[in-house]
Amino acid sequence: MAIVEAEPAGEIEEAFAEFQEQLNLMFVRARSLWKDSAARIHSDLQPSGYKLLTFIAHAGTANAHHLAERFETDKSVVSRQVRMLEDLGLVESRPDDQDGRQRVLTVTPAARTALDELKCDNVARLRGILAELSVDEVQAASRAFRLLAEM
pLDDT of res. 7: 63
pLDDT of res. 2: 47
pLDDT of res. 47: 94
Query: pLDDT tens, 27-73?
Result: 999 999 999 999 999 999 999 999 999 999 999 999 998 999 999 99
Task: Parse the chain into domains and list their residue ranges.
Answer: 2-149
Query: pLDDT tens, 62-86?
Result: 999 899 999 999 999 999 999 999 9
**Fold exhibited by the domain 2-149:** Arc Repressor Mutant, subunit A (1.10.10)
Query: What pTM, to 2 d.p., does this model score?
Result: 0.79
Q: Output the CA–CA distances (angstroms, integers) from residue 40 to 8, 54, 66, 68, 114, in the order listed.
A: 47, 13, 26, 25, 8
Length of the chain: 151
Pair 53, 45: CB distance under 8 Å = yes
Please tell me the distance from the alpha carbon of residue 70 to that of residue 61, in angstroms, as a whole number.
Answer: 13
Query: pLDDT tens, 94-127?
Result: 988 887 778 899 999 999 999 999 999 999 999 9
